[in-house]
């Protein structure tokens, strides 16, 4: 059977070939309904864009797809470490890196993929990098490894942190110190890693025989703001019976929570114990040093790049999900409650 063309896609979708081209290159000017028809036509036909002569695949280049963050990628210490690991291993293997960012959920193939200008792709993080987008990238035939993200639609190569266990350990630590009203500051649900951390918190509470109090589950109120965690902690402090301990799903969230606690004239851990997740360097945060969950971020980047290299060389390799272990690092932000009554 002849390879499907842009004209075939356009005919099936009921649009012009130029509209299909605009869609593939992520250019504005196409309505949502037309985009959906084009996407369905591409799926039905199994269409894969053909690179033109001026955009042939650059041998030795791999792409890194990221969500557009409020701060620069290097400003997020978790992703900065992972990216550093990717870069080091890529150089060792003889690859160069091209970075592509998306700023909202989309099913449009990233230009690096649509133009077939890279040998493989690392998708770093979740959020706007949705299951639907990952599915489309896989269908295009592009070798793909996700980092800190997985897909619920199909198995794929991924490298993730054991978020569930890390959150379980953090919550268990607070319970073992004698806390019974342990709250959680959640993150946006679009991030699977943060949802897994919520499940770890919840199961630790249940396993300890503590009754579930939905008032202690604080939804995100300040997503994307530099001081996320501040408004959430204010809401928890306003409860008739505030928590004596809080698990924050990230260290940046914990920092905002500490600021809110201190603004209310209270101290950590004297009045409220706090545990974070990610293990940012202690010198990034003011005292008290934060109890947190750590993982091997640099190693995640190394392993993801090696896995991508393997599937580039072995296209038929069975997808595997690599789960990186994590551990609790106890510092000064957690202690026994002053009043356990």
Q: Break the chain into its structural domains and give their ranges.
A: 1-47, 51-161+299-325, 163-295
Q: What is the predicted pLDDT for the residue at 57?
A: 47
- Which DSSP symbol is given to 292? E
Contact (Cβ atoms closer than 8 angstroms) between residue 159 and residue 295: no
Q: What is the predicted pLDDT for the residue at 106?
A: 78
If you average pLDDT over residues 266-293, what whole number do you get?
A: 90
| Phi, then psi, of 62 in degrees rounded to 5 | -125, 155
38: closest CA among 15, 67, 72? 15
Alpha-carbon span 57 to 208, nearest angstrom: 55
The larger pLDDT score, comparing residue 79 to residue 167, is at 167
Q: Is the dihedral of CA 294, 99, 31, 138 positive or negative?
A: negative
- In the sheet with 61-67, reading across from the earlier edge strand, the strands are 96-102, 61-67, 121-124, 144-147, 157-161, 321-324
Residues 6+ apart with CB under 8 A from 116: 48, 49, 50, 51, 55, 56, 57, 142
Q: What is the predicted pLDDT for the residue at 64?
A: 95
Whether domain 163-295 has CATH 3.40.50.2300: the reply is: yes
At residue 42 the predicted structure's pLDDT band, cuts being 50, 70 and 90, is confident
Whether 340 has a pLDDT exceeding 60, the answer reads no
Whether domain 1-47 has CATH 1.25.40.10: the reply is: no
Q: What is the predicted pLDDT for the residue at 70?
A: 56
3-class secondary structure, 309: helix
Task: Kindly report which listed range (13-22, 92-101, 157-166, 313-322) carries the lowest average pLDDT score.
Answer: 13-22
Fold agreement between 1-47 and 51-161+299-325: no
Q: What is the predicted pLDDT for the residue at 55?
A: 41
The larger pLDDT score, comparing residue 224 to residue 115, is at 115
Q: What is the mean pLDDT of the chain?
A: 88
Domain 51-161+299-325 superfamily per CATH: Response regulator (3.40.50.2300)
At residue 333 the predicted structure's pLDDT band, cuts being 50, 70 and 90, is very high
Q: What is the predicted pLDDT for the residue at 59?
A: 57
If you average pLDDT over residues 166-171, what whole number do you get?
A: 98
Beta bridge partners of 292: 329
For 4-29, what is each residue's pLDDT tens digit? 888 888 899 999 888 888 887 767 77
For 67-81, what is each residue's pLDDT tens digit? 876 554 555 778 889
Half-sphere exposure of 214 (CA within 13 A, CB side): 0
At residue 2 the predicted structure's pLDDT band, cuts being 50, 70 and 90, is low
């Amino acid at each position: 059977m002849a390879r499907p063309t842009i004209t075939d896609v356009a005919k099936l979708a009921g649009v012009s070939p130029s509209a299909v081209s605009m869609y593939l290159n992520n250019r504005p000017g196409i309505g949502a309904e037309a985009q959906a028809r084009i996407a369905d036509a591409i799926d039905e036909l199994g269409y894969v864009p053909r690179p033109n002569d001026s955009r042939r695949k650059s041998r030795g280049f791999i792409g890194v797809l990221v969500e557009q963050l409020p701060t620069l990628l290097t400003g997020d210490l978790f992703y900065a470490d992972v990216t550093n690991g990717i870069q080091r291993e890529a150089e060792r293997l003889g690859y160069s890196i091209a970075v592509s960012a998306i700023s909202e959920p989309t099913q449009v193939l990233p230009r690096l993929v649509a133009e077939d200008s890279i040998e493989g792709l690392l998708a770093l993080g979740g959020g706007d990098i949705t299951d639907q987008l990952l599915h489309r990238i896989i269908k295009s035939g592009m070798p793909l490894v996700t980092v800190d993200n997985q897909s619920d639609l199909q198995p794929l190569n991924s490298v993730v942190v054991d978020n569930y266990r890390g959150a379980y350990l953090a919550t268990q630590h607070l319970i073992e110190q004698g806390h019974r009203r342990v709250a959680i500051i959640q993150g946006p649900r679009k991030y699977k890693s943060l949802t897994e951390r919520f499940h770890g918190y919840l199961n630790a509470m249940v396993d300890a025989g503590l009754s579930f109090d939905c008032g202690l589950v604080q939804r995100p109120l300040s997503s994307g703001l530099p001081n996320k965690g501040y408004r959430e902690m204010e809401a928890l402090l306003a409860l008739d019976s505030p928590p004596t301990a809080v698990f924050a799903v990230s260290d940046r969230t914990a920092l905002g929570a500490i600021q809110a606690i201190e603004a209310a004239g209270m101290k950590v851990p004297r009045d409220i114990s706090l545990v974070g997740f990610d293990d940012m360097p202690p010198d990034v945060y003011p005292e008290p040093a934060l109890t947190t969950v750590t993982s091997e971020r640099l190693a995640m980047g190394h392993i993801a790049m090696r896995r991508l290299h393997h599937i580039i060389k072995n296209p038929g390799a069975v997808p595997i999900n690599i789960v990186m272990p994590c551990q609790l690092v106890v510092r000064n932000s957690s202690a026994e409650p002053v009043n356990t009554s």
